Amino acid sequence: MLCKAIEAHGGWLFKHTGDGVCAAFSSPKSAVDAAVAAQRALELPVRMGIATGEAELREGDYFGAVLNRAATTGPCAQSDIRTGTPSSPAKPTP
């Protein structure tokens, strides 16, 4: 389901990270649309991180600070995409 949502919104899945994936999109809107579609298809809350910026493509993988930002936003994400109602922001844990 996740791969279908990524591909349907013009994304390119470039890495599996254990229980997650990394994908690149041509626009932030495409990334958000794919995340919303995936949440709705999965029918369960899944945390997803999205960040914008430049990344360097090397040998089929992306590198750069933007990937670090995306990786750290996922654990902070809390919302109910199915209803579109944001919940309270996550509080970082020490």
> Chunked in runs of 10, what are the mean pLDDT values of the chain (94 residues)?
92 86 91 91 82 86 84 64 43 44
Instruction: Let me know if residue 91 belongs to a domain.
Output: no
Say what the pLDDT of residue 5 is: 94
3-state helix, strand, coil in the chain (%, to 5): 35, 20, 45
Residue 36 near residue 11, CB atoms below 8 Å = no
**Residue 59, domain extent:** 2-86
Instruction: Let me know if residue 27 belongs to a domain.
Output: yes
Say what the pLDDT of residue 90 is: 44
| CA 48/CA 68 separation, integer angstroms | 13
Supply the CATH number for residue 45's domain.
Answer: 3.30.70.1230
Say what the pLDDT of residue 78 is: 57
- Count Cβ atoms within 10 A of the Cβ of residue 65 and give its class: 0-12 exposed, 13-18 middle, 19 or more buried: exposed
